[in-house]
Amino acid sequence: MNDREPLLALNDKIVAAVTLLKAGKNVAFPTETVYGLGADIANPSAINRVYEIKGRPINHPLIVHFAEMNQLEYWATDVPDSAWQLAEHFWPGPLTLILPRSSHVPLSVTGGQNTVGLRIPDHPIALALLRALGRDRALVAPSANRFGRLSPTSANHVYEEFGNKVSMVLDGGTCKVGLESTIISFYNSTAILLRPGGIPIASLEDVLKQKIVLKGNQDIALRTPGNLSSHYAPATPLEVWPTESIQQRAQQLNKNGLRIALIVWSDSDYLSQAANENIHLFLMPADPIEYGHQLYATLRQLDQKGFFRMLAEAPPLDSAWLAISDRLQRASYNTSTHL
């Protein structure tokens, strides 16, 4: 095998994927955040099928992915200076900007709203696919999983979710971020965080030289991806407990002989002592970036082990952990409100 064969094989796969997309099929592809379920923005039936495959409400908007910065004003209008600042600094990257949609974005993509979520992904396969699709073309792509469930961070996760419902899955390895993109909207010239994600809020504030407002502090009626109270959930019920309470909760369940997965980030003797034949300890990284990278894959793995319940140690109350706190809170919404 020569050094060019893997590249040629990938190029062939990109060509095949573009052919499928232009024929109205759906293709899953890797990004730096999670795998996306792609449809050609110019094909209404392909967009409708995204909603059908995922079981996603049609009023829940999709994010538009494109490849070049000079396409921003093709998909959006009235782009404020602050949005340009963020785009120029963080694109390609895990940042989605909510902006007024242009006439090129169908309402089926935006959930009937006059705003659209836009981003340039930071993954070589995603960018190659988008560029091969052609000028003034884009992919609408939510995460490639059933609605409300764990997002996929590998090609195998997509196959587990959908089987042959997707025409093609481009395998780009494990996603380097592992959490969905940060979503920022602009309301009365104010930058508002609608979903924490792969970019820390402090990094956004450093670029803008101003504070980012949290959604809860603004009364705006705007539907965005991943903002339902229950989302990103494993099949096994998940509870989130403070460090000082999680062992007590585990022992309470252990009295009934129930198998528990104890997911912790603080490597302390206090928590290690809780482990026994029914309480299985899983140590996550104490670094929020690495924790985010491993979170969904870990929850998927534990989902397959037949635990009665997962108990997760609440992350630190620090802005660097905001995205982790958000995902755990939504993933545990139906079983726990302790975060």
Can you give the pLDDT at residue 219?
A: 47
Same domain for 208 and 117? yes
- Give the model's confidence band at 8: pLDDT under 50 very low, under 70 low, under 90 confident, else very high: low
Q: What would the two tokens of residue 335 be? A: 């079983």
Mean pLDDT for the chain?
90
Q: Name the band, by pLDDT with cuts 50, 70 and 90, for residue 229.
A: low
Q: Are 321 and 240 in contact (CB under 8 A)?
A: no
**Domain presence at residue 227:** no
Picking from 217, 250, 284, the residue at the C-terminal end of a domain is 217
Q: What is the pLDDT of residues 128-146, one digit of tens each?
A: 999 999 989 999 999 999 9
pLDDT in tens, 53-67: 999 999 999 999 999
Considering the domain boundaries, does residue 21 fall inside one? Answer: yes
Same domain assignment for residues 40 and 154: yes
Query: Minimum mean pLDDT among 19-28, 38-47, 227-236, 254-263: which range?
Result: 227-236
Instruction: Please report, for the domain that includes residue 105, its CATH number.
Output: 3.90.870.10
Of the listed ranges 3-7, 18-22, 190-194, the least confidently predicted one is: 3-7
Tell me what pLDDT residue 277 has: 83
Structural domain count of the chain: 2
Clarify whether residues 253 and 327 are in a common domain: yes
Q: Tell me, what's the pLDDT at 101? A: 96
User: Residue 295 belongs to a domain with what CATH number?
Assistant: 3.40.50.11030
Could you tell me if residue 338 is inside a domain?
Answer: no
**244 and 207, same structural domain?**
no
Among 155, 187, 217, the domain boundary falls at 217
Of 10-24, 264-278, 304-318, the range with the lowest mean pLDDT is: 264-278
Task: With CA atoms as reference, report the closest residue to 145 among 41, 47, 231, 59.
Answer: 231
What does the alpha-carbon distance between residue 299 and residue 154 come to, in Å, rounded to a whole number?
13
Q: Are residues 79 and 117 in the same domain?
A: yes
Same domain flag for 176 and 115: yes
The reply to whether 255 and 189 lie within a common domain is no
Percentage with pLDDT > 90 across the chain: 79
Whether 233 is covered by a domain: the verdict is no
E strands within the chain? 27-29, 36-40, 63-65, 95-100, 115-119, 139-140, 168-169, 182-187, 190-195, 213-214, 238-241, 260-264, 279-283, 309-313
Judge whether 133 lies within some domain.
yes
pLDDT per residue as tens digits for the range 83-119 = 999 999 999 999 999 999 999 999 999 999 999 999 9
More confident residue, 333 or 103: 103
Same structural domain, 87 and 190: yes
- Taking 50 as the threshold, does the pLDDT of residue 285 lie above it? yes
Residue 217: pLDDT band with limits 50, 70, 90: very low
Q: H helices within 43-141, ranges in order?
A: 44-54, 72-75, 81-90, 107-110, 124-133
What is the distance between the alpha carbons of residues 58 and 207, in angstroms, rounded to a whole number? 35
Note down the domain range covering 243: 238-331
Q: Are 189 and 49 in contact (CB under 8 A)?
A: no
Residue 186 has pLDDT above 90, yes or no: no
- Cα 338 to Cα 94: distance, rounded to the nearest angstrom: 28
CB count within 10 Å of CB 334 equals: 13
Q: 321 and 187, same structural domain?
A: no
Classify residue 231: in a domain, yes or no. no
Does residue 204 share a domain with residue 55?
A: yes
Residue 224 domain-assigned? no
Strand-strand pairing, 190-195 and 213-214: parallel
User: Does one domain contain both 197 and 260?
Assistant: no
Residues 154 and 299 in one domain: no
Of the pLDDT bands very low, low, confident and very high (cuts 50, 70, 90), residue 334 is: confident
**Of 165, 182, 217, at which residue does a domain stop?**
217
What's the pLDDT score for residue 339? 38
Phi, psi angles (nearest 5°) of residue 280:
-105, 125
- Helices 5-22 and 124-133: angle between axes, nearest 10 degrees: 50
Residue 124 belongs to some domain of the structure? yes
